[in-house]
Structure 1
Amino acid sequence: MKSLNSELQACIDNCNGCITAARICLDKHLGEPDMKKCHQLCLDCTTLCAACVQMMASQSDYSSRVCAICADLCNACADECDKFDSEACKQCAEKCRQCAETCKKMAA
């Protein structure tokens, strides 16, 4: 297997950062009824970002398509997290936007 280029590695790193931030956000606010949509999007982000990491690491031919969906999902999660004043939500939104940006580049 060939080594990962810097663009691919940056996207993997941003996906991992998004996973961590989404998990922290979810753990901090789990059970808060007004954050149900936030909870679901954070769960979805952790799942899809993990899949992206695995597919990019193995240099799958399908990585670009999965990254395109991941970019959309991460932007949706960021928009939802931005609705709340929590520091965990703000951090999640920031990491989701970074992930979305690099995933979008990988999808192009």
Structure 2
Amino acid sequence: MKPLNNEIQQCIDECNACITAARICLDQHMGEPDMKKCHQLCLDCIALCTACVQMLASQSDYVNRVCAICADLCKACAEECSKFDSEVCKQCAEKCKACAESCAKMAA
């Protein structure tokens, strides 16, 4: 397997940061009824970003398509989390936005 280039490594790093921020957001606000959509999007981001990291690391032939979906999902999560005043939600929105941008570049 060939070494990871800077673009792939950056995308892995952005996905991992998104996973961490989504986990913190989810843990902090679990059970708050007005944040149900936020909870689901955070769970989805954790799952898909984890898969994306694994596929990026193995340089899968399908990484472009997975990154395209990941970009869409992370953008949606960023939009939802940005609706809340919580500092962890704002941090999650920021990390999800960065991940979406990085994944969109990989998908192109």
- Please indicate the TM-score interval, normalised by the length of the shorter structure: over 0.9
Task: Give, in angstroms, the shift of residue 50 of structure 1.
Answer: 0.2
For 2:17, the equivalent position in structure 1 comes to 17
For 1:52, the equivalent position in structure 2 comes to 52
Structure 2: distance between partners of 1:36 and 1:24: 15
Q: Secondary structure at the match of 2:20?
A: helix
- TM-score, L = length of structure 2: 1.00
State the Cα deviation string for residues 28-78 of structure 1 (Å, max 9, x = none). 000000000000000000000000000000000000000000000000000
Q: Please say if 1:83 is aligned against 2:83.
A: yes
Structure 1: distance between partners of 2:38 and 2:56: 26
Aligned-residue Cα RMSD (Å) equals 0.2
Q: Count the aligned residue pairs.
A: 108
- TM-score, L = length of structure 1: 1.00
Q: Secondary structure at the match of 1:83?
A: coil
For 2:32, the equivalent position in structure 1 comes to 32
Q: Structure 1: which 5+ residue stretches go unaligned?
A: none
- Percent same amino acid among aligned pairs? 80
Q: Please say if 1:98 is aligned against 2:98.
A: yes
Give the partner amino acid of 2:29.
Answer: H
Structure 2: distance between partners of 1:65 and 1:7: 16
For 1:65, the equivalent position in structure 2 comes to 65
Structure 2: distance between partners of 1:94 and 1:48: 17
Task: Give, in angstroms, the shift of residue 23 of structure 1.
Answer: 0.2
Q: Secondary structure at the match of 1:12?
A: helix
